[in-house]
Structure 1
Amino acid sequence: MKQERNPFITFEEAKARGLKCDEPGTVACPYCGKATVPLGISFDGSVRWITHEPCGCPEEIEAQQAQAAKEAREAEGKLNSKLSRAGIGKRFLNAEVSLEASARYLSSFGGNGGAGLYIEGCVGSGKTYAACAIAKAFIMAGYNVVVATSLSMLEEIKRSYDDNSAAGIERYMACDILIMDDIGKETTSSWALTNLFQIINSRYEDMRPTIYTSQYDVDSLLTRMARYGDRESAEAIASRIVETSAFIRLPKRDRRREKSCFGGYGPKKTLQNQSHR
């Protein structure tokens, strides 16, 4: 790898190179007062003195560490704000890609022709965590990502229609990556299926990747969607999902129950009142 040239020069280097410059004054370390080496840049045939070499004193090092920590906090805050705007909940802001299949999907993304994912698993198996980890990786790479449950998507679309605006559905059709979480949980009325089909078909035609999570395999999803009579739309949705998705099936285990100190549903902590007699 080619090493980047240091743009700063010392007074001795400037003289050796025959550059026109005034002798710099003494620059004291602002933390300990020790004299430091002035540094300048060559500009338009002469040298301008603009900074100095690090002193290396404990006070300066401590200040640099504090500044680095501040910048890291600010960067994390900006990232978390961006993740939240995309729809990633606070619980999943620190999600990391841990599934091999997810990592393979991300590494092949540039040449996958708009293919998405269908992450299937039981309640508590980690579907949303896995999807948010992928979403986070895309957001950090600069993609426009939207994360939403199918139910919340339909609710937002309904509100936008009530307000005579198409902005609601356009947001889901036009983003680079759409994470449609928990598809199959929505009430599958004809109106709901029409809007889901519109989103999925638009993304299908434009080759925009969609990542789905669901408790149901695609056949079961089709049955649920068609249970109120609109089988044609349900089949059209299922067909497009199958054509454009790689499938990840998570183990049948409820991680939420495993995390509970009782080994099942219930509070993780109890308050015990102790009396002394």
Structure 2
Amino acid sequence: MPGEHGNESHLITPADAVERGMNGPKGEGAECPWCGRVLEPRGVLLNGRVAWAAYEPCGCEGEANAAKEAKACELKMREREKKVKLIRSGVKKRYLEATVDTNEAQRYMERFGSDDGRGLYIHGNVGTGKTYLASAMARMFVDAGYSVVLTTTLAMLEGIQDAYGKETSSLDAVLRFASSDVLILDDFGKESASAWSASMIFQIVNYRYEAMRPLIVTSQYDLAGLEKRISRQGEHERARAVVSRLRQMCHTIELSGNDRRRG
């Protein structure tokens, strides 16, 4: 098969092998599959001998077109793999092309990793772009190689609850959210209030707080409002504990403006 132009300088030609007194290639060469020109063999050193494993590039138009097609195919495959990773991380199809569109979030991303595990608390009215921004940040984290979980708090709690009685233990389900490199909880405060949900939320927030793992939260409520939401079934102590940790571990971004969904 034809060799690649970028590797040509590292390969040994038949003339090189003769000059070094090494074994030459068997046969005269191979024909270019596009134009039929006979291509000279190329080899690599292997345990003192030459392994003739490739051929010189032809440089013809057919070869160039095939290389372009192969590159385009590779790019499409990478894009497909990237989308699969994003979807597995929790990014919805609507937000696969989302971009970070606030200065505060952009600055956070630029200093990520040098901020003692600090996260973000993003709050604002309905339709101000909270989910869009969270998804855009998830895209950047996934691109950078971090393990990311993006989910609503309601879906997270349902996933943990569904784990009871199954092969995956509730502890394993909790650890999926607690131990990822980046956890993004969307729509915090929309979940039903109960002693169990308050306990699960506290466990996950506290784990990430103590491990200094970043937590990014979006909510319709500011932190004072979130505390009221978590405690509306009497879980005041846990609600205070959760919000206290969020205050310490997260920078705050408030999004304002009209409802983006009303076009």
- TM-score category by the smaller chain? 0.7 to 0.9
Aligned alpha-carbon RMSD (Å):
2.3
2:110 is the alignment partner of 1:112: no
The equivalent of 1:20 in structure 2 is 22
2:162 is the alignment partner of 1:159: yes
2:90 is the alignment partner of 1:87: yes
2:180 is the alignment partner of 1:175: yes
Q: Quick check: 179-188 or 36-45, which moved more?
A: 36-45
Aligned partner (choices 40, 44, 48) of residue 47 of structure 2: 44
Q: Structure 1 vs Structure 2: percent identity of aligned residues?
A: 42
User: Residues 191-270 of structure 1 correspond to what in structure 2 (within 5 A)?
Assistant: 191-257=196-262, 260=263
Q: Deviations over 1:169-222 (max 9, x none)?
A: 221112121111110111222221111111111111111111101111111212
2:65 is the alignment partner of 1:62: yes
Q: 1:119 to 1:5 in 2, by over 3 A?
A: farther
The equivalent of 1:272 in structure 2 is none
Amino acid paired to 2:231? A
Q: Quick check: 57-66 or 160-169, which moved more?
A: 160-169
- Structure 1 distance, partners of 2:40, 2:129, is 56
Number of aligned positions between the proteins: 255
Give 5+ residue unaligned stretches, structure 1. 261-277
SS in 1 for 2:164: helix
Does structure 2 retain, via aligned residues, the 8 Å contact 1:19–1:47? no
Q: Deviations over 1:89-126 (max 9, x none)?
A: 11122223343322322232222111111112222222
- Structure 2 distance, partners of 1:112, 1:5, is 46
SS in 2 for 1:123: coil
2:80 is the alignment partner of 1:77: yes
Does structure 1 retain, via aligned residues, the 8 Å contact 2:28–2:40? no
Amino acid paired to 1:12? A
The equivalent of 2:3 in structure 1 is none
SS in 1 for 2:59: coil
